[in-house]
Amino acid sequence: MGKELYENSALARELFEQANAILGFRITDLMFEGTDDDLRQTKVTQPALFLHSTILAKTLGSDFQPDMVAGHSLGEFSALVATEALSFEDGLRLVYKRALAMQKAVEEHPGTMAAVIGLPDDRVDAICAEIDDIVVPANYNCPGQIVISGTLTGIDTACKLLVAAGAKRALKLNVGGAFHSPLMEPARTQLADAIHATAFQQPVCPVYQNVTAQGETNPETIQANLIAQLTAPVRWVQTVENMIAAGASEFMELGPGEVLQGLIKKTNAEVVAEGMS
C-alpha cells in the first residue's frame, strides 16, 4: 500500500518519512512489507489508509482541484486534510489517536457489525429500534445496503429479525467492534478533547460530512460533526445524493480499493465514478 507512491515521488517519500517520525514507528515498513496480521492492527490500518489517500492527493498538486469532497468514516479525515481544513501532521495525529481510542473502546465494550442487503432503510431502522439491546444503523452505504452495529447478542437478534422481515441477507462482518454506535462513546469522549485542541481552518471547498450529509465550510461545525461521527451513522447515500444535487457529475476515489466507486454507481448509475490508487 503506497509503495509505488513512495518510490516515484520525492514529496510522497518526504511525507511518508514524516509520518514515521510522528507515529514513532516505521509504518512504511508495515505498509510495504507487512503481513495481513500486521495490517489488521487498528493502530496500523487507520493511519495507513489515511496516509495512502492523503499523500496521493498531495502529489497531484495543482491537478487536485475538487469542487467538493467527502470521505467514508475514516476517509473524512483524509478529505479534511486534502482541502486544507486540517494540516497533514494534525490529521495524522488525530487519526492515530482515533485508532487507539477505538481499540480501547472495543476492549471495554465488545460488539460487532452486520451487512443487511435488500431491505428498505426505514424497515431496517424500525427493526433495530424494536430490539431491547444496542443495535443501530451504522452505514447507509447505497440503496438496499445498510450496515448495522451493536452488541454481540443484539446483532444476532437483529440478523434473525431482518431476514424474517424479507432481507436477502444479514451477514455478520469480520470486524473488531461496534463502530458508529453508542458503544464507541468512550472513544468519542477521548477524541473530542484532541479535536478541540486541534486547529481547523476553512476548507478550500465544501466537505460533505458523514453525520449531516451536508457540505460544510465552517471550522467549528466541521469539528463538532467530526466528534459526533464516532457514534453516529455514516450517511453515505444521502451524501452522494446531496453532492449530485449540488452539481457533482464526476467522482474520483483516491486511495486503495474501489468500494466507494461501486457504492456511488449503485446510488446513481448516471454519474461517472473512477479511482486513483
Active site residues: 73, 180
CA 212 to chain centre: 14
CB contact burial 35-63 (16+ within 10 A = b; e otherwise):
eeeeeeebbbbbbbbbbbbbbbbbbeeee
Written as one letter, the residue type at 71 is: G
Closest among 105, 77, 108 to 195, alpha carbons compared: 77
> Which set of grid coordinates corresponds to residue 164?
424474517
In this structure, are residues 140 and 240 in contact, taking their beta carbons and an 8 Å threshold?
no
> Which set of grid coordinates corresponds to residue 210?
458523514
Torsion over CA of 93, 226, 251 and 48, rounded to 10 degrees?
A: 30
Place of cell 446513481: 268
Rounded Cα–Cα distance for residues 222 and 45 (Å): 24
CA 12 to chain centre: 22
Closest among 212, 225, 185 to 85, alpha carbons compared: 225
